Structure 1
Amino acid sequence: MCGEEAEKFHSRRSVLRGAATAAVAVGAAVALPGVAGAASAQSAQESESSGHGRHRIPVDKISIQLYSLRTALEADLEGTLSALADIGYRKVELAGTYGRSAQEFRGLLDKNHIQASSTHVGIDGDLDQTIADAKVLGNTRANVPFAAFDTIQGWKDFGGRMDAAARAFLKAGIPLGYHNHAHEFAAIDGVLPYDVLRANTNKRLVHLEIDLFWAVDGGADPIEVYRKNFPRTTQYHVKDRTADGQMVDPGQGVIDFPRIFRATRPNLAEYIVEHDQPADPLSTARNGFEYLRHLRF
């Protein structure tokens, strides 16, 4: 989430939070029919508890949303990017360029051997310029970070705008997707906006970036969201949640990431660390990278 979208979202946050605490440990509560039999499920649980899972996340699939580091980037742009490189990041997801042109920001990324593989963008402004900047920055994916409508028709109309924008992005070789918060999983007239959005966008054009914290916070099961939309889900935002709904660094809460990742591993291109309001942005960046780097599932 970035810019005006972020501000709009935080002003709505108290309204959008639902009674989803019971769904926090969603991975532990979800049966996985067709994924494993009883014996293999038991083996997987034993492997998880011993810390020796079969899979790991390659470093080139670990990224971080720079919105998490906005205060540090505003204070010291070059030093913060250098610190991210020192931690081990080779990819980031953008949320603006902090007063620099696309070319200038790309130069700073190249200097630190970091690729801005993904970006959060709006689609209601100068779309041609947005796409041109994305190409300069080297983005291989783009995502709309936020949308909110009070009616189902509003979500249907937005789906049409997403399709049109996605066609323009794809001509430049950059797939466009949508990043969720919690309110997409709150029914309007008995219908989930998320279902409306996916039904009113072309699955070959619009991919889905699932924010795991907000999906769980909205009462959704990320595994089922992934499966219902396969192969549209290509990116995760990885941020954790305490039992009482507080956002914390990955691995410091109760969301069962190993179980989610194990059940949804195919087609995932990026696992993106994020925290909307970190007390220490670089500490969050370090904690997230180390958690994902050493995770076995």
Structure 2
Amino acid sequence: MALSRRTMLRGAAAGAVAAGAAAALPGTASATGERGGGRPWSRRVPKDKISIQLYTLRSVLETDLEGTLSALADIGYRKVELAGTYGRSATEFRAILDRYHLRASSTHVGIDGDLDQAIADAKILGNRRSNVAWASYPTLAEWREFAGRLDAAGKLYRRAGIGFGYHNHAHEFARIDGVRPWDVLVRGTSRRNVSLEMDLYWVVVGGGDPVGEFYKVAGRVRQYHVKDRAPDGGFADLGEGNIDFPRIFRSNWPLEVDEYIVENDEPVDALRCAKTGYDYLVGVRF
């Protein structure tokens, strides 16, 4: 008899705890999933789950929108995550994406503006998910109030047939009066209304373990921002830093996420970063 999803979640979470939910650092893993001559692994990231956050390419998108999107398609991307439409309307931007056979499956949004218009734009763009990209407050009371607003927005998106989530940075893991804002958001929102877009780099920088944090909210992480960490703590192109992505992906595979989104906040060469990230995710084994 097939296990129920609840039983699978409970068993997977218990397994992660029993195994110690090893931290993502240190060390760099090869794209084959081998380390120090160890045996290769067979699982891989499906190509149709690979995306890229266009914030990574903002500098070149501002100067050559269509050429950059065309280059992403040539690399192999079929999905992108938006962070603005560069002066184009939702309809205009969708037409450009369609021209290059790209789909904006996700987008970064806020919740302080016109939510009805944001939802309408999301439908035009073809978004399956929308995520709040940033929030920061000095007190727990403000975080709790924000969690309530986040949940209310998520309900509107859910009723419109669009998934809704929150994207973390590092500060959500820094305690305020002994409590992490991340935990306030998790407890203050419904899993029906608010999913989680886990930025693996920022979890690590914030002192968390991506595997342990994943299982604490088992089933709510629907997307990863796959962003690597340089030895000096800055950003690195995928596979050139020290976050052990094969370990993270391997540990969390029973609850595989919907999208693996390439990102680098400060790339040296945006298009090279995009290609390196795509090639890494296609080649990684875990």
- Tell me if TM exceeds 0.5: yes
Q: Which of 81, 104, 110 pairs up with 2:69?
A: 81
Offset at residue 192 of structure 1 (A): 0.3
Offset at residue 48 of structure 1 (A): 2.9
Offset at residue 54 of structure 1 (A): 1.8
Corresponding residue of 2:284: 295
Gaps in structure 1 of 5+ consecutive residues: 1-30, 37-44
**How many corresponding residue pairs?**
259
1:289 is aligned with what amino acid?
A: Y
Paired residues of 2:222 and 2:259 also in contact (CA < 8 A): yes
For 2:121 and 2:33, how far apart are their aligned partners in 1? 45
2:282 is aligned with what amino acid?
A: R
Q: Which of 220, 231, 235 pairs up with 2:208?
A: 220
TM-score, normalization by structure 1:
0.84
Paired residues of 1:243 and 1:253 also in contact (CA < 8 A): yes
Q: Which of 106, 119, 128 pairs up with 2:116?
A: 128
Paired residues of 1:68 and 1:277 also in contact (CA < 8 A): yes
* Identical residues among aligned pairs (%): 59
Corresponding residue of 2:259: 270
Q: Which of 171, 188, 203 pairs up with 2:159?
A: 171
TM-score, normalization by structure 2:
0.87
For 2:185 and 2:165, how far apart are their aligned partners in 1? 11
Q: Which of 240, 261, 280 pairs up with 1:252?
A: 240
Offset at residue 283 of structure 1 (A): 0.5
2:95 is aligned with what amino acid?
A: G
Offset at residue 51 of structure 1 (A): 6.8
Paired residues of 1:35 and 1:263 also in contact (CA < 8 A): no
For 2:186 and 2:49, how far apart are their aligned partners in 1? 25
Paired residues of 2:41 and 2:285 also in contact (CA < 8 A): yes
1:296 is aligned with what amino acid?
A: R
Q: Deviations over 1:228-276 (max 9, x none)?
A: 1010001000111123201101110110000000011223000000001
Offset at residue 172 of structure 1 (A): 1.3
Corresponding residue of 1:149: 137
2:187 is aligned with what amino acid?
A: A
For 2:141 and 2:16, how far apart are their aligned partners in 1? 34
Corresponding residue of 1:9: none
For 2:109 and 2:16, how far apart are their aligned partners in 1? 35
Q: Deviations over 1:132-172 (max 9, x none)?
A: 00000000011000000000011100010011100111111
For 2:226 and 2:53, how far apart are their aligned partners in 1? 10
Corresponding residue of 1:191: 179
Runs of 4+ off more than 2 Å: 31-36, 45-52
Corresponding residue of 2:24: none
Offset at residue 203 of structure 1 (A): 1.4
Counterparts of 1:25-174 in structure 2, within 5 Å, are 32-34=16-18, 48-49=34-35, 50=38, 52-174=40-162
Corresponding residue of 1:279: 268
Offset at residue 53 of structure 1 (A): 1.1
2:252 is aligned with what amino acid?
A: T
Paired residues of 2:17 and 2:212 also in contact (CA < 8 A): no
Seen in structure 2, the aligned counterparts of structure 1 residues 245 and 77 have a Cα distance that, compared at 3 Å, is: same
Aligned Cα root-mean-square deviation (Å): 1.8
